[in-house]
Amino acid sequence: MPTLQAVKTFSQGLNQDLSPMNVPESAYVDALNITTFDKGGNQFSISNERGFQAKQALPSGYRAIGLYYIDNKIVCFSYNETTQASQIGYYDINTFVYTRVFDDKDLTQQFNSSQTFDFSPDYQIRATGRVAFNGDIYIYWVDGKNPPRWINLSRNYFANRFIDLNSETSLFSGSALVEIDLAGILESGNLTASSYQFAVRYQSDTGDTTPFSPLCNPIPIVDELQSVGRDLYTGAGQTENKGNKSIELSLSNVDTAYRFIQLAAVHYEGNALTPVIYIIDNIPITGSSFNYTYSGSESSSTTITTQELIQERAIYSTANQITQKNNRLFVGNLKETGIGESLQTIANSIQIKYKIEEIQVTSAFTDYKLEENTFNKKGYRRDEAYAFGIAFVYTSGGISPVFHIPGPASGNATRDIGTTDSNAEGTLGSTVTSNTSGTSYPGFGGYPSGKVRHHKMPSLQTEPSFRNDSGDVYIRIFRH
């Protein structure tokens, strides 16, 4: 008669907290590479844990530095140390066929060979992704070395090559800073007599927007037409009065990688001159420079807050963590584009000079009766002190903080060039005198030593405000 034997099931798992003498029979004290499920899924059957199985190799010379699983695909980020190529592809988990999506050394997939993803085996890639409503798969990644990026895994980059790899894949996209100038005041339109300022931002096909550019100079609009003559042209309209005017803007340095811009029109209303900011959407970008006419009759009545208008543009150089939740992308361990003391050192070396620009006062619209002159020919007051600074615009479109430009160590403003009042140029003076009181520079951050120095404008005696040349009167404007 066969002998019945008890089967050890080890149902209580690994136990290393107790002495081996006190461990229950259904537990074990040590194990290496085991599982309590067998290949068929039977529980409490001890067997070796299965290892990895080779399915498909990466292209020759490439090594994986990051993986991400999405929609039955294993997305692989790889790097070739011989060619220094960065490649993105994926394996189909059903067939394990590898599909290359993009290789930054292949000029059939992009136009600019100098732009790369710059993968490195020393910086492992962390990624996340999502499937869009149209089935396209978007992958986002960080590596702690390069800016956070994204790519459309479903796009055919052989048929649709990258024009600018850096701007088209950057998660925090940089863009050219649009320059806004006044092309002219048109005597047709529906603008309220007031003062206007404008800013622009880029707008994508999906409605996403960049931060706004800085505001342009104020543009005054009066309700009279020039046909009333110079003497009846008041030069300042009563707010809320409608006039037959519109503003033609000249936009330059426009980034044509975008299809649209969005215009913010700041209109100052009422006696308190309260700013109201109207938005005009989906203005087509027709080139790197083009004109746009704002008439006040635009159909959009959308407004935004001042806080949204002055939002700073953050440009992050690297990130180490990325994930998503509730359709929101979260990026962590961010590093912003560095701003060093060297920029203050550059500001220290700047010498500001003044130049006199003249406009003649005539019976026509040649002086400040002309709105274009109030936009283009702003000047400074005589004998006043001014604190000047400089902000640097990065190639990404971001703007640095303002760095102080120190005034001269001492002395008054002096005329350097010009034997007559009509062509005078000179050097600004200093606010520092023999008086030893006043605030000192902090002694760090690249600032010079000593007392804080600002710039002093020439006096009326040195540079008069007007010049009379045999009955012809000229306004003399301080420029720099």
- pLDDT score at 140: 96
Residue (of 376, 361, 359, 363) closest to 226 by Cα position: 363
CA distances from 463 to 182, 476, 479 (A): 29, 8, 12
Q: What is the pLDDT of residue 149?
A: 93
Pairing assessment for the beta strands 137-142 and 149-152 based on DSSP bridges? antiparallel
Q: Residues 128-173: pLDDT tens digits?
A: 999 988 899 999 999 999 989 999 999 998 888 887 788 788 887 6
pLDDT number for residue 185: 92
Mean pLDDT over residues 406-426, rounded?
75
Percentage of residues of the chain with pLDDT beyond 70: 88
The CA–CA distances, whole Å, from 10 to 5, 28, 45 equal 15, 7, 8
User: Is the CB of residue 154 less than 8 Å from the CB of residue 243?
Assistant: no
pTM, rounded to two decimals: 0.68
Distance CA(336)–CA(294), nearest Å, equals: 36
State the chain's mean pLDDT as an integer: 84
CA 182 to chain centre: 24
Band of pLDDT at residue 18, cut at 50, 70 and 90: confident
373-404 core/surface letters (b: 16 or more CB in 10 A; e: else): bbbebebeebeeebebeeeeeeebbbbeeebb
- The pLDDT assigned to 363 comes to 81
Q: Are 285 and 263 in contact (CB under 8 A)?
A: no
Tokens 């989906």 sit at which residue? 282
- Predicted pLDDT at 27: 80
Residues 121-133 have a mean pLDDT of 94
Q: At 263, which helix (H) or strand (E)?
A: strand 260-269
The confidence score (pLDDT) of residue 22 equals: 82
pLDDT of residue 405: 94
For 20-78, write each residue's pLDDT tens digit.
888 887 787 877 777 766 555 565 566 777 777 777 788 899 999 999 999 999 999 99
Closest CA to 476 of 418, 409, 395: 418
Residue 179 tokens, joined:
């320059």
* Bridge pairing between strands 27-28 and 13-14: parallel
| pLDDT score for 434 | 43
Q: Is the pLDDT of residue 19 over 50?
A: yes
Least confident of 51-65, 236-250, 342-356, 359-373: 236-250
Write out the two tokens for 338. Answer: 């560095």
Residue 341's pLDDT band (boundaries 50, 70, 90)? Answer: low
pLDDT at 435: 46
